[in-house]
């Protein structure tokens, strides 16, 4: 892709911990990735791997007792007057301060998992869309109304003027998600974060929503971070893939590399567990041995070693592998592939 | 919406009928009929009544007819505004109740407004600052508010005012205004006296409502729409006021249905302790003295006030919550 | 288990391993614990609710053995001893441990002709634990004269009043002990009646639905929109004055529960409605369980902890309502003793101004109701499987 241009968003060594009475949950524990302009980055992983917390950290909407304890999230503002001043480290901004609020919704927008619950049931769709417009644009009510209707029109909402007066629970699941996307689009954001936007809707509608997102991305040249546990969805929409497990990045690479040339044992295991048309019928699919450890029982060393087929005793359970480039586009955090690099570091 | 209100309105006559039957049952409860008691009362006070008048009264109340005829006659008179005569006071009931009713309703409305004005901010503050000092403080105050019977508060305040300041805080008027006609000065005097019963009556309710508000708001604050609103870039305070507070109000509005009647009827006890000229102490006196027509009429009035409270809460709720509006039409 | 242990041996986080290991065990234990155990574990963490529970246990013990805790016959009137003030309990006398109170001395005020009492700090009345006093019956069976506290020398004429005396010279402390029995048990019995009514009618309404549900719902709606206090007043006033103490006692519990069951009835109905659609109930139906078995083995256990919590929260309301009624002279009447009857003595300003200690039984009401409310809230939170 556009590896030569500057990344829009750079996440480095991000750590977000939840301090509970029972102990510390390291939901995100050292995550690195980049998002380039116009790129669709898919973050994939099982539930509890920290993918949602990662993007909530980027939006700075992690709720107590969660807290970003380390790392940086560099963002290049595209709209503000200080657009040319270089990147802003979002971690240093006040979570509810003016600067962060100017970025949230305006530069980085969110499409949530459950459109049903994300709309207020006692305010009309229009009310909530107009509010989104007027939070970031100096327009009057009439203009805001027109912008909102335009956004609804763009996401393929039939009868957009009439829907402005509807309540979220009067719409079908697919339309509701379209309305959510419209709300995210009202301010023309540079980065759209979609948090499992298709989990709550049925498969046929899913495809429509995915196509819509893809076409909107091309039209507006937005970047999208797409979060899902569904590898099929990733294959459809993403350019670049980040595979996460227990708060850490296991592997990153282009969608082709990840699907056709996976390097990390976890990525390989994940891919083997999806059925394909070619796999023989009535045969058990391979599964990953064991289960995801309880968040308090995070293993030391590589988080995946207790379930790993290539576990090396005395190595994987002693030290944590860092994410290392193995070629131009692909990085892996596994001792199998870059113990040489580790040794270099040690030396 | 209209349909819903009509449906609720249809329930009202049923309520009125049930309530009037109950009131009539109360009137009938003591042994002996009204006219016999009336004659005895007159004889005790030294006056007498001739047989023709007695017969007139008997047929007026239908005392020689079956019980349902008596009930219907009584209802018929009530509808025309004739509440009957009080045995105890020897005066028409409507005349007796008039001003007291006005004062009861005024006290009720003041208390209600006071409760809401206090409970909502307390609830918002404790929920948005959960586990903070202010939250714990109000939790403790609320527990005491809920756990202290209103008459205890009234008694203690009365005693403190008397022993520390030597003043008596009973009544709703200063001595010179008790029987005076309504003037601007009398209204001012009443307002000066009204605040104390209002606070005493409202404490318990404030504590309850603040707890309801806090719990509702805590539920709402966890909802996904909060995250979405934050992600839009709304400021924290503005979004709390627009979404969760607005949604937490709905369950609070539905409490009006039982809270308003409770204020009206709950004032019986406080009014008795503080010696307020409302209908509460009069109900108590009429019940103890077996002045049953007066007691029945007052109970009927309480019933009406309760029904009006339910109606207000229903209509407000429908107006506030589009989901109910949709469901019902 | 051994696999797990291996897994959680963090080489560089030794100090954390202890915590993690216990949590690991907990996770195991939690998944197999019965519901009541889970509720208890959650409840244990509410320190305030635990304190409330302890207070209630104390009050309940007093309610069970009022004779033992009282110091004098609660109904004994001594006309010459009216309005004796509180005699504070003291433990040290002349440097050595001796439970005692100071004696009181009465002087007649020559102007008002009223007896005025002064604490005489020079003479003490020595007291001892488990002493002999007036004879009373425990549980209506065993006659005894043992009391927790009494004068050392039972032969002496000395008497003491920890909470002072009332208009008729009756000992308020002893009356409070007996009042506790009556007030607490009225609350309990009335709540029991309304719980049974609530579960029965709410359950029928929610389980069967249809027209039965309609009728019961309208009934609840009507009952709930009636103003309770005037109704209670009217009903209690309609009780014949000739009724015995026991008769009025039961009449009052029934009158109080007539309206109170509706709240619980609504709640139970809501739960039944929700549960009816649950998979495990459908599964029980499909495997041929009888209706009774489905209700009592499958449905009720899922919310009985809520019922306990709701019941606990209803008791204080009942206690306050009984106190209201008796305070106004329409509930229990003397010679019955309840907290409301005691407070009736403090109904007007003249009495309180003269003898402020008459308000003290109100403190017992507040403490008990407070403890029950806190306990009930703790139980409710613990009963909610989704709370944290």
Backbone angles phi, psi at B102, to 5 degrees: -55, -45
Distance from CA of A104 to the nearest CA of B (A): 5
Kindly report the CA angle at B71 between B69 and B77, in degrees rounded to 5?
105
φ/ψ of residue B91, rounded to 5: -140, 155
Alpha carbon C170 to chain centroid, angstroms: 24
Chain A contact probe: residue of C20, C31, C41 with most A CBs at under 10 A: C20
The answer to whether the beta carbons of residues C74 and C337 sit under 8 Å apart is: yes
Residues of C in contact with A293 (CB under 8 A): 7
Q: Has this prediction a pTM greater than 0.90? A: no
Nearest by CB to residue B231, choosing from A59, A131, A170, is A59
Per DSSP, what are the bridge partners of residue B85? Answer: B92
Residue C124 pairs with which residues in a beta bridge?
C102
* Residue after which a domain boundary falls, among C166, C201, C225: C166
Q: Chain B: list its partners (3+ Cβ pairs within 8 Å).
A: A, C
Determine what percent of chain C is predicted with pLDDT higher than 70.
90
Distance from CA of C49 to the nearest CA of A (A): 19
Mutate to test the interface with C, among A18, A21, A22, A291 (most CBs of C within 10 A): A22
User: What are the two backbone dihedrals, phi and then psi, of residue C222, each rounded to the nearest 5 degrees?
Assistant: -65, -45
The residue among C166, C189, C218 that closes a domain is: C166
pLDDT tens digits in sequence order for chain C, 388 residues long:
343 333 333 333 333 333 333 444 455 555 566 777 777 877 887 888 899 999 999 999 999 999 899 888 888 888 888 888 888 888 888 888 888 888 888 888 888 777 788 888 888 888 888 888 888 888 878 888 888 888 887 777 778 888 888 888 889 999 999 999 999 999 999 999 998 998 888 888 887 878 888 888 888 877 877 788 888 888 888 888 788 888 889 999 998 888 888 888 888 888 888 787 788 888 888 888 888 888 878 887 777 777 888 888 889 999 999 998 899 888 888 888 999 999 988 887 888 888 888 999 999 999 999 999 999 888 888 877 655 4
Q: How many CB atoms lie within 10 A of CB A241?
A: 27
| Chain C neighbors of B22, CB-CB under 8 A | 226, 231, 234
* A224 φ/ψ sector (left φ>0, alpha ψ -120 to 50, else beta): beta
Query: pLDDT digit string (tens) for A192-230?
Result: 999 988 887 788 888 888 999 999 999 998 999 999 988
Instruction: List b or e across A333-345, with b for residues whose CB sees 16 or more CB atoms inside 10 angstroms.
Output: bbbebbeeeeeee
C14 domain-assigned: no
| Per-residue tokens: C288 | 């041929």
> C162 and C179: one domain?
no
Binary contact (C16, A318; C-beta < 8 A): no
A344 touches chain C (CB under 8 A): no
pLDDT tens by residue, B165-217:
877 778 888 877 877 788 888 888 888 888 889 999 998 889 989 988 998 89
Report which of C103, C110, C112, C159 is spatially closest to residue C131, judged by C-alpha positions: C159
Name the residue among A274, A190, A226, A195 with its Cα closest to residue A33: A226
The answer to whether residue C248 sits within a structural domain is yes
Q: Are residues C220 and C287 in the same domain?
A: yes
Chain B contact for C48, CB < 8 A? no
Closest Cα of chain B to A132: distance in Å?
Answer: 6
For position C223, which CATH number holds? 1.10.3720.10
- From C174, C83, C116, select the one nearest C358 (Cα to Cα): C83
Locate A137 and state its tokens: 């644009």
pLDDT of residue A339: 55
Verify whether the Cβ–Cβ distance C349 to B158 is below 8 Å: yes
Stretch A267-283: mean pLDDT? 78
- A136 → closest Cβ in B223, B230, B233: B233
Residue C307 lies in a domain: yes
Name, of A87-91, B10-14, B43-47, C384-388, the range with top average pLDDT: A87-91
For residues C200 and C292, state if they share a domain. yes
How far is it, in rounded angstroms, from Cα C88 to Cα C105? 15
Q: Cβ separation of A122 and B235 shorter than 8 Å? A: no
Alpha-carbon radius of gyration of chain B:
24
User: pLDDT tens, B218-242?
Assistant: 988 888 888 889 988 888 888 899 9
Interface check for B269 against chain C (CB to CB < 8 A): the answer is: yes
Q: Which DSSP state fits A168? A: G
The mean pLDDT value for B56-62 works out to 75
Distances (CA, A) of B314 to B2, B307, C363: 12, 11, 38
CB-based contact A294 C24, cutoff 8 Å: yes
Q: Do both C246 and C308 map to the same domain?
A: yes
Helix (H, G, I), strand (E, B) or coil at B314: helix
Q: In this structure, how many other beta carbons lie within 10 angstroms of the beta carbon of residue A318?
A: 15
- Is there a domain that residue C125 lies in? yes
pLDDT at A80: 62
More confident residue, A81 or A97: A97
Average of pLDDT values for B145-151? 89
Residues A105 and B317: their CA atoms lie apart, in Å, by: 33
Q: Which residue of B has its CA nearest to C329?
A: B288
Domain that holds residue C375: 175-382
Q: What is the spatial order of strands in the sheet that A324-325 belongs to?
A: A108-111, A191-195, A223-228, A40-44, A240-245, A248-254, A331-332, A324-325
∠B120-B124-B129 over CA atoms, to 5°?
150
Question: Which of C10, C17, C28, C388 has the highest number of chain A CBs within 10 A, making it the mutation to test binding with A?
Answer: C10
The confidence score (pLDDT) of residue B42 equals 75
Under an 8 A CB cutoff, do B143 and C230 touch? no
pLDDT given for residue A148 in this prediction: 94
pLDDT digits (tens, 9 = 90+) for B101-137: 999 999 999 999 999 999 999 999 999 988 889 999 9
Q: Using CA of residue B320, residue B124, residue B208, residue C214, what is the dihedral sign?
A: positive
Residues 357-376 of C with CB under 8 A from B: 359, 362, 365-366, 369-370, 373-374
Answer whether A250's CB lies under 8 Å from A193's CB: no
Per-residue burial over C329-353, b = 16 or more CB atoms within 10 Å of its CB, e = otherwise: bbbbbeebbbbbbbbbbbbebebbe
The yes-or-no verdict on residue A347 having pLDDT over 60 is no
Does C13 contact A at CB distance below 8 Å? yes
Number of compact structural domains in chain C:
2
| Residue C115, strand partner residues | C108
- Top-confidence range, A11-20, A298-307, C3-12: A11-20
Taking contacts as CB-CB distances below 8 angstroms, the residues of chain B near A122 are: 246-247, 250, 320-323
Residue C74 falls inside a structural domain: no
Percent of chain B with pLDDT over 70: 95
Residue among B233, B243, B320 whose CB faces A120 most closely: B243
Task: Sketch out chain B's domains with CATH numbers.
Answer: 101-279 (1.10.3720.10)
Q: Are residues C210 and C324 in the same domain?
A: yes
Q: Is C76 buried (19+), middle (13-18) or exposed (0-12) by CB count in 10 A?
A: middle
Q: Among residues of chain B, what percentage have pLDDT more than 90?
A: 14
Is C46 a domain residue? no
Domain boundary among C140, C166, C192: C166
Size of interface A-C (CB pairs under 8 A): 32
For chain A, say whether B132 makes contact (Cβ under 8 Å). Answer: no
A188/A105 Cα distance (integer angstroms): 9
- Whether residues C141 and C289 fall in one domain: no
Residue A45 confidence (pLDDT) above 80: yes
Percent of chain A with pLDDT over 90: 42
Q: Are residues C188 and C161 part of one domain? A: no
DSSP string, C119-171: EEEEEEEEEEEEEEEEEEEETTTEEEEEEEEEES-TTS-----TT-B-TT--B
Measured in angstroms, the CA of C3 and the nearest CA of chain A are apart by 10
Q: Among C285, C298, C312, which Cα is nearest to C370's?
A: C312
Contact (CB<8Å) C8/A22: no
Q: Which residues of B touch A117 (CB under 8 A)?
A: 223-225
The answer to whether residue C55 is domain-embedded is no
State whether C273 and C377 are in the same domain: yes
Cβ contact, residue pair B233, A121, below 8 Å = no
Give the per-residue pLDDT at C352.
Answer: 85
Sheet holding A9-20, edge to edge: A23-35, A9-20, A66-75, A88-89
Question: Looking at residues A25-49, what average pLDDT do you find?
Answer: 90
With CA atoms as reference, the chain A residue closest to C17 would be A297
For residue A233, what are its two tokens?
Answer: 């969805």
**Are C153 and C180 part of one and the same domain?**
no
Residues in chain A closer than 8 A to B243 (CB atoms): 120, 123
**Helix (H/G/I), strand (E/B), else coil: C98:** strand
For residue C336, which of C235, C259, C256, C253 has the smallest C-alpha distance?
A: C253
Using an 8 Å CB-CB cutoff, list chain A residues near C13: 300
Q: Do B246 and A135 touch (CB under 8 A)?
A: no
In the predicted structure, residue B61 carries a pLDDT above the cut 80: no
Residues 205-224 of C with CB under 8 A from B: 218, 221-222, 224
Q: C9 at the A interface (CB within 8 A)?
A: yes
Residues A287, A249 contacting (CB under 8 angstroms): no
C84-106 pLDDT, tens digit per residue, is 888 888 888 888 888 888 888 88
Q: C132 and C236: one domain?
A: no
CB contact under 8 Å between A114 and B243, yes or no, is no
What is the DSSP pairing of strand C96-108 with strand C90-93?
Answer: antiparallel
Q: Is A103 on the interface with B (CB under 8 A)?
A: yes
Whether C314 and C370 share a structural domain: yes
Say which of A296, A301, A318 has its CB closest to residue C20: A296
Contact criterion met (CB < 8 Å) for A297 and C4: yes
CA torsion through residues C370, C374, C380, C386, sign: positive
What mean pLDDT do residues B66-80 have?
A: 84
Is C67 within a domain? no
Same domain, C229 and C159: no
What subunits touch chain C, counting only 3 or more CB pairs under 8 A?
A, B
């Amino acid at each position: 892709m556009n590896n030569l241009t500057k990344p829009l968003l750079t996440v480095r060594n991000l750590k977000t911990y939840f301090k509970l009475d029972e102990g510390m949950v390291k939901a995100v524990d050292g995550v690195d990735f980049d998002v380039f302009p116009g790129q669709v980055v898919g973050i994939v992983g099982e539930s509890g791997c920290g993918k949602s917390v990662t993007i909530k950290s980027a939006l700075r909407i992690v709720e107590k007792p969660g807290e970003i304890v380390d790392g940086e999230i560099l963002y290049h503002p595209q709209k503000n007057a200080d657009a040319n001043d270089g990147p802003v480290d979002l971690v240093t901004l006040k979570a509810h301060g003016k600067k962060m609020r100017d970025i949230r919704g305006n530069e980085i927008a969110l499409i949530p998992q459950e459109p049903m619950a994300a709309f207020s049931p006692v305010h009309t769709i229009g009310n909530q869309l107009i509010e989104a417009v007027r939070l970031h644009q100096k327009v009057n009510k009439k203009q805001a109304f027109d912008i909102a209707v335009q956004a609804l029109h763009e996401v393929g909402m039939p009868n957009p003027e009439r829907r402005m007066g509807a309540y979220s629970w009067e719409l079908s699941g697919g339309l509701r998600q379209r309305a959510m996307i419209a709300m995210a689009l009202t301010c023309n954001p540079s980065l759209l974060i979609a948090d499992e936007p298709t989990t709550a809707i049925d498969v046929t509608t899913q495809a429509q929503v995915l196509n819509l997102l893809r076409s909107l991305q091309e039209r507006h040249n937005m970047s999208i971070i797409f979060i899902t546990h569904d590898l099929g969805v990733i294959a459809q929409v993403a350019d670049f893939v980040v595979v996460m497990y227990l708060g850490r990045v296991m592997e990153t690479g282009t969608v082709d590399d990840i699907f056709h040339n996976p390097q990390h044992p976890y990525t390989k295991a994940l891919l083997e567990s999806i059925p394909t048309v070619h796999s023989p019928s009535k045969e058990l699919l391979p599964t990953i041995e064991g289960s995801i450890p309880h968040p308090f029982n995070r293993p030391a060393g590589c988080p995946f070693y207790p379930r790993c087929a290539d576990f090396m005793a005395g190595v994987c359970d002693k030290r944590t592998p860092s994410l290392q480039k193995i070629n131009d586009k692909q990085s892996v955090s596994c001792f199998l592939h870059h113990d040489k690099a580790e040794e270099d570091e040690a030396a | 919406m209209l349909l819903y209100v009509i449906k609720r309105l249809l329930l009202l006559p049923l309520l009125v009928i049930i309530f009037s039957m109950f009131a009539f049952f109360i009137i009938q409860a003591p042994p002996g009929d009204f006219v016999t008691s009336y004659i005895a009362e007159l004889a005790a006070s030294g006056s007498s009544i001739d047989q023709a008048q007695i017969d007139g009264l008997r047929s007026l109340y239908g005392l020689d007819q079956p019980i349902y005829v008596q009930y219907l006659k009584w209802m018929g008179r009530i509808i025309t505004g004739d509440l009957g005569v009080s045995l105890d006071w020897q005066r028409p009931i409507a005349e007796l109740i008039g001003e007291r009713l006005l004062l009861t309703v005024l006290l009720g409305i003041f208390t209600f407004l006071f409760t809401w004005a206090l409970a909502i901010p307390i609830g918002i503050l404790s929920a948005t600052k959960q586990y903070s000092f202010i939250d714990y403080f109000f939790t403790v105050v609320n527990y005491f508010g809920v756990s202290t019977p209103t008459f205890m508060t009234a008694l203690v305040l009365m005693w403190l005012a008397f022993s520390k300041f030597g003043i008596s805080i009973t009544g709703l008027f200063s001595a010179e205004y008790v029987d005076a006609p309504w003037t601007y000065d009398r209204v001012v005097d009443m307002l000066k006296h009204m605040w104390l019963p209002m606070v005493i009556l409202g404490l318990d309710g404030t504590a309850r409502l603040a707890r309801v508000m806090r719990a509702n708001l805590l539920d709402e604050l966890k909802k996904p729409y909060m995250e979405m609103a934050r992600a839009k870039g709304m400021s924290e305070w503005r979004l709390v006021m627009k979404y969760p507070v607005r949604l937490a109000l709905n369950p609070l509005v539905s409490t009006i249905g039982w809270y308003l009647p409770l204020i009206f009827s709950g004032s019986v006890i406080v009014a008795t302790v503080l010696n307020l000229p409302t209908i509460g102490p009069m109900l108590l006196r009429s019940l103890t003295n077996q002045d049953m027509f007066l007691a029945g009429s007052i109970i009927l009035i309480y019933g009406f006030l309760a029904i009006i409270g339910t109606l207000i809460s229903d209509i407000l709720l429908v107006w506030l919550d589009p989901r109910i509006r949709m469901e019902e039409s | 288990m051994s696999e797990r242990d291996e897994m959680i041996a963090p080489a560089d986080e030794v100090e954390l391993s202890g915590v993690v290991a216990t949590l690991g065990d907990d996770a195991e234990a939690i998944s197999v614990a019965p519901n009541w155990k889970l509720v208890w574990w959650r409840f244990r963490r509410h320190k305030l609710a635990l304190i409330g529970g302890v207070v209630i246990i104390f009050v309940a013990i007093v309610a069970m053995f009022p004779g033992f805790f009282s110091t004098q016959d609660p109904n004994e009137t001594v006309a010459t001893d009216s309005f004796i003030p509180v005699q504070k309990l003291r433990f040290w006398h002349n440097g050595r441990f001796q439970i005692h109170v100071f004696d009181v001395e009465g002087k007649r005020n020559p102007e008002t002709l009223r007896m005025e009492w002064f604490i005489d700090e020079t003479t003490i009345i020595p007291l001892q634990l488990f002493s002999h006093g007036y004879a009373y019956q425990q549980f209506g069976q065993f006659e005894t004269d043992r009391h927790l506290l009494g004068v050392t020398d039972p032969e002496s004429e000395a008497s003491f009043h920890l909470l002072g005396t009332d208009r008729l010279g009756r000992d308020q402390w002893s009356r409070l002990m007996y009042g506790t029995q009556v007030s607490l048990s009225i609350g309990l019995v009335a709540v029991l009646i309304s719980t049974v009514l609530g579960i029965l009618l709410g359950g029928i309404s929610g389980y069967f639905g249809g027209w039965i549900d309609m009728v019961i719902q309208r009934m609840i709606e009507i009952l709930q929109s009636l103003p309770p206090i005037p109704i209670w007043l009217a009903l209690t006033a309609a009780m014949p004055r000739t009724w015995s103490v026991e008769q009025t006692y039961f009449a009052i519990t029934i009158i109080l529960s007539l309206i109170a069951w509706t709240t619980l009835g609504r709640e139970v109905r809501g739960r039944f409605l929700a549960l009816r659609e649950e998979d495990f109930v459908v599964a029980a139906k499909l495997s041929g369980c009888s209706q009774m078995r489905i209700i009592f083995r499958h449905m009720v256990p899922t919310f009985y902890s809520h019922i306990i919590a709701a019941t606990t929260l209803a008791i204080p309301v009942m206690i306050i309502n009984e106190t209201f009624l008796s305070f106004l002279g329409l509930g229990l009447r003397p010679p019955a003793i309840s907290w409301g009857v005691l407070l009736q003595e403090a109904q007007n300003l003249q009495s309180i101004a003269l003898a402020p200690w008459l308000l003290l039984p109100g403190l017992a009401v507040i403490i008990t109701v407070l403890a029950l409310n806190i306990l009930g809230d703790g139980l409710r939170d613990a009963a909610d499987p989704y709370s944290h």
